[in-house]
Structure 1
Amino acid sequence: MSEIKIITPAELEAKLEAGEQLEIVDVREDEEVQMGMIGEAKHIPMNEIPANLDQFDKEKEYIFVCRSGRRSENVCHYLQEQGFKVVNMTGGMLEWTGEVVFK
């Protein structure tokens, strides 16, 4: 299994503050994202990813986020096997110190 690229919460926050256009996907459950999520993130729960592959573009790189970084890592392995460019945010929202929004 090939390595998954990673990004730390601090690195991601710095990229967002620099105005970079990033594709961020939060794979937590509905009740988890109600506690706050990264404003630029799109919410697709982990178990709905396979049914939503048409929402992903193989030319773009996606950063996946969950609570601790484990579920998003699993999603990254799955999508990388499908030919997508993926990055896992290590530490997840537990280590995110940036702003959050409530959707």
Structure 2
Amino acid sequence: MSEQDVKEMTPQELMEKLAAGEKLQVVDVREVEEWNSGHIKEAQLIPLGFLPHRVDELDKDVPIVLVCRSGARSHNATAYLTHLGFDATNMVGGMLAWPGEKEVE
């Protein structure tokens, strides 16, 4: 699988899956300050730099959707987790494109 070969979904698709109650892990790979300014309610925060150290917090049996500000960092995280054998998908457009509600800390 090449670096470009990552699965992708739109923010709208993710919103529909969450609304339907699909079992997903939503992982936000932004920094804490970005997270605090607004994030997807169901998401957990694992900043990209910490991902290799916290990968054991993720469940290999549950699909993962990765989110960042614009989609670039989450693309890298998706490629990384896919390489490790996770079912990972990048949310294209990131939080800039998220049409749903945002939780603010």
- TM-score range (shorter-chain normalised) is over 0.9
Normalization by structure 1: what TM-score? 0.94
State the alpha-carbon separation in 2 of the partners of residues 80 and 22 from structure 1: 15
Structure 1 residues 1-103: aligned runs within 5 Å: 1=2, 3-103=5-105
State the alpha-carbon separation in 2 of the partners of residues 76 and 16 from structure 1: 19
State the alpha-carbon separation in 2 of the partners of residues 99 and 48 from structure 1: 26
RMSD between aligned alpha carbons?
A: 1.1
Number of residues paired by the alignment?
103
Shift of 1:84: 1.2
Shift of 1:91: 0.3
Q: Which of structure 1's runs of 4+ aligned residues deviate more than 3 A?
A: none
Shift of 1:66: 0.2
Shift of 1:76: 0.8
Shift of 1:21: 2.6
One-letter amino acid of the structure 2 residue matched with residue 93 of structure 1: M
